[in-house]
Structure 1
Amino acid sequence: ELEVQRAKELIEQKLAEEEEEEKRLKEDGTREPPAVERMSTPELEEEKRYGPRNRGLEAVKGQERVRKSSVDLRREIIDVGSIQRLIELRKQRRQRREERAATPEPPPPPEPLEIEGPVEPETFLRAAVQGKMPIIEKFLADGGSPDTCDE
């Protein structure tokens, strides 16, 4: 609960700072972008071909859209109580990781020290790839060709 309370306080603090900054900008004389006027079809066609006339205005609109959506998202997280759910999910993930780390993988079965019977060429090639020296030595000692892979 302390984490949830702390998160709420931080979000509220950020929202308050953003609102103060917006008020300060308005008081400093910085004007909001002018409202979009009705445009005739020829003007719209011209804008399609050559791009917007005032690119700075488009950038400001994009920034406002992002800011508004992030503020809305923060409020939604607080309103719905999603913070608590996010904390629970994080705890569950952490527990799963700890459980995986706590259960070690079973060791591979030990290989027999003495190899009985002749070694097949296919087994020799697998042993060569895996670096199993006793099998390789047994194959060669039985008269197997070291050039088996070329055959």
Structure 2
Amino acid sequence: MAEDTSEVPAELSQIPTEERQEHSRDTNKISTAGETSGVSTAGETREISTAGKTSRMTTIGETSRRLESTEDLSQNPTEMSTRERSEEPRGGENKSVGMYRREEVDEVQQGTAEGCELGGVELVAELRRRRQAKQRAARIPKVVVEAPVVGPVDPADFLKAASKGKLRVVEKFLQDGGDSDTCNKFRKTALHQAAQGNHTVVMKKLLEHGADIGLKDKLDSTAVHWACRGGSLAALKLLHNHGANLKAEDKLLSTPLHVATRTGHCHVVDYLITSGVKINCKDREGDTALHDAVRLNRQNIAKLLILSGAETHITNAEGLRAMEQLNSWQSDTLEMLKKMEQLRDVGQ
């Protein structure tokens, strides 16, 4: 197996932060669900006199908190706290609105006609509309526009092309006699790169040229692990159809089911379960996929695992069952999971 040996580190501990985070067991287990995305500082009420009558109007921050309180628990697990302003900032009013950053508010206000500044419900609705539009745009597959390949392709460019889905560059490298199992200093092959990015056309070309579907990187992650980490269902199905092992374990004893659960890809978890993987496998710390789902507040995945037969009484190395990891503010989650367990038991 050819390897790009440039700048090979002396030991695994020298792996740069970006790659180390992709592989790290601890990094995978960091829950961001418990962070509040913004604190409103405009929660007080103002009295406005109009035509001799006094009406109370809540400010933007109050409206935002009221609307955002209906969000899913995993997105907003704690109530938004109110910080009363002790003094008006000299540079102007703080325009942060609930979970929306000041920059987003400024962008909306600058886009409106002069003197027609949005406020209250209208502002929150416009902020939400813009954020949802950006999220939809991010999900649209990007069309890879490739320029003609001139001259030989070196291993580094070959690996980069595999990660970006550039078929012409990959084909040129292979046609010139390049090794389909070429890898970087972390032993991450072109097939690993393409699987993570869901580039199935490139994957097919690599497999046609003899790429080893079972090769592992430095932490024993296979192409299946990388497909699950990237949420790449089409890539996972392709690997499965070519005989890849969906139950493979890395050095941390994490299975593809563990990886898909930690990264929050419910559709991948569903495919793995229906494909017959063992649902109660433990990793090196004794955690099952359900432990990971509950700790990281992956509610939909936790529901799916329980309804699919995940055992709730299994303890990890710390002696904790999955539901014993919940915090006090997650009482609603605990109640929901218990209901799922009851529904499963009734169905049996």
Normalising by structure 2, we get a TM-score of 0.18
Normalising by structure 1, we get a TM-score of 0.35
Say which structure, 1 or 2, has more relative contact order (CA 8 Å, 6+ apart).
1
